[in-house]
Amino acid sequence: MTSQKAFVRENTATITPSLVPELQLNLANETCPVWLQTPEHFSKLGIPEPFWAFAWAGGQALARYIFDNPEIVYGQTVLDFGSGSGIVAIAAAKSGATHVIASDIDEYAEAAIAINAEKNNVNIEITRENFIGIDKNWTTVFAADVCYEKNTALMITTWLKSLVSSGSKVFIGGPRRIYLPKNGLESVIRYSKETVSRLEDTDLRNAQVWRVV
Ligand SMILES: C[S@@+](CC[C@H](N)C(=O)[O-])C[C@H]1O[C@@H](n2cnc3c(N)ncnc32)[C@H](O)[C@@H]1O
């Protein structure tokens, strides 16, 4: 993970997400090289697009919700699926979860989560295992901004519903419902934050948390 960690550090700055002033994370802003690059650039380098370099609206909404309602994670085993920067996992760990697992299939996300966990003084288990279809009896499962491709979104939401049937509490974060199921989601809270950042500008005005029921 050494070279991935170096890449993350070289391409990020210390940033406080607008909705989550409790945290400082290594993320990209307009001054960082990855901000201006195209998907083709990363494809040529043979690395995935750096989703880990941003605190997405869904991640910020879920992290905010966790900090404001720590009882939903306190003393529990928590999975943050598709963790990216680790924002949701870190919020859960800081809010009293006993065991936090951050999963992301991208090895650069794995490095970013490790850097950000250390920066915020929390212990998180990080894995690149693809958990879709797997049930490890997590008490609470979070999935923020992971439903951006139609087919994958269907697989993910079907799996999340099955976790609810087995007794897990499952929360989804995102800016909008596209690719989310029409039924079986209960709206929990919606945040609306004006920001100056180009990336956050559209999404953070519509950052939401849903519970899978
Ligand atoms: C848009 S980012 C959201 C990151 C973070 N949850 C947030 O809200 O800031 C989506 C993340 O999901 C990860 N991902 C996609 N498919 C995955 C899978 N099957 N298992 C784990 N992570 C996955 C991607 O690598 C990416 O880091």
Q: Which of 95, 144, 85 is nearest to 119 (CA)?
A: 85
Measured from the CB, is residue 105 less than 6 Å from ligand 1?
A: yes
Q: Is 208:173 a contact under the CB 8 Å cutoff?
A: yes
Q: Which of 150, 172, 145 is nearest to 161 (CA)?
A: 172
For ligand 1, atom 24, which residue shows the shortest CA distance? 82
For residue 159, give both structure tokens: 């799996």
The pTM (predicted TM-score) of the whole model is: 0.95
- Residue 88 CA, closest ligand 1 atom number: 6
pLDDT at 134 over 70: yes
For ligand 1, atom 14, which residue shows the shortest CA distance? 82
Measured from the CB, is residue 89 less than 6 Å from ligand 1?
A: no
With left for phi above 0 and alpha for psi between -120 and 50, is residue 141 left, alpha or beta? beta
Q: What is the per-residue pLDDT for 200?
A: 60
Q: Which of 69, 52, 73, 71 is nearest to 61 (CA)?
A: 69
Sequence spans of domains, the chain: 2-212
Q: Which of 47, 55, 53, 126 is nearest to 93 (CA)?
A: 126
Q: In the structure, what pLDDT confidence band is assigned to residue 178 with cuts at 50, 70 and 90?
A: confident
Residue with tokens 């008490």: 139
| Answer CATH for 2-212 from 3.40.50.150, 2.30.130.10, 1.10.10.60, 2.120.10.30 | 3.40.50.150
Q: With H, G, I as helix, E, B as strand and everything else as coil, classify residue 184.
A: coil
Reported as a single tens digit per residue, the pLDDT across 48-100 is: 999 999 999 999 999 999 999 999 999 999 999 999 999 999 999 999 999 99
Measured from the CB, is residue 147 less than 6 Å from ligand 1?
A: no
Q: Is 95:67 a contact under the CB 8 Å cutoff?
A: yes
Ranges 112-121, 143-152, 196-205: which has the least confidence: 196-205
| Distance from residue 156's CA to the centre of ligand 1 (Å) | 11
Measured from the CB, is residue 103 less than 6 Å from ligand 1?
A: yes
